[in-house]
Amino acid sequence: MTRYALCAIAVILIGAEVVRPTTFHAKRVSHVSMLGIEAHPALDQAELDDLPPVVNPAIGNIDASSVTSGGHEDALEASVPVPRDATLRLVGWVADPLARAPGSVLLVIVDGTRRIDVTPGYHVARDDAARILNTPALREAGFVVDLPVAELGPGAHTLRIAVVTADGRAISIFPTVVSFTSQ
C-alpha cells in the first residue's frame, strides 16, 4: 500500500508541474544584474525564477572556458582551483531550439539553481554557426561572458548556459556543464 501511495503522490506532483501555466512576462525593464552588469532587456529575479525549463535542450556550443587572474589567461581546468580574484570567461553560441534563433535573454545557471542574467554578453556575431547549420538567424547567437569568481563564492561549482526562449515563455538549457572549484 505504501508503494501505491508514493506512486499516486508522484503522479499528482508531475501532473501539477505539467499543467502549471506558463506566464508570458511582457514587461521588460533594464536593471543591473547581480554581477553589476546592466542588462537590456532584462527579466527581474522573480520572473527568472518563474520560468520553467523546456523539454528540448538549447542548441549551441561552449567553445572555450578560461580563467583570468593576475593578468594571465589560462584554460579552465576542473582539477585546478580558481583564485577568488579571478574572472571566468565562457565563449560560444547558444540558441532557442524550437525557434532556431537566438533567445531573448542569456543566463548562466550556477550550481543548478542560481540564475544570473548575462545578456550584455550575448548576440555576438557567429557567422560560423549560421553557415554550418544553414540558419541565418543564428548569426547573432554568440556569447562572451565574464563572471567574477568572488561573486560565486568558494567551493565546487557547476555552470550551465541557458536562454530564455525567443517568445519569452521558458528557459532552454544547454546540456554541457562547466565545473570548477574556487578558493
Q: What are phi and psi of 122, to 5 degrees?
A: -105, 170
For residue 59, list its beta bridge partners.
Answer: 95
Could you tell me the sign of the dihedral formed by the alpha carbons of 120, 178, 67, 58, in that order?
A: negative
C-alpha cell recorded at residue 27: 514587461
Q: Answer yes or no: is pLDDT of 55 > 80.
A: no
pLDDT for the residue 43: 67
Domains by residue range for the chain, with CATH: 24-182 (2.60.40)
- Those residues whose C-beta lies under 8 Å from the C-beta of residue 50, and which sit 6 or more positions away, are 23, 25
Question: What are the tens digits of pLDDT across the range 122-156?
Answer: 999 999 999 999 999 999 999 999 999 999 999 99
Confidence of residue 42 (pLDDT cuts 50, 70, 90): low
Confidence of residue 170 (pLDDT cuts 50, 70, 90): confident
Are 137 and 100 within 8 A, CB to CB? yes
Q: 28-42, 54-68, 81-95: which has the minimum mean pLDDT?
A: 28-42
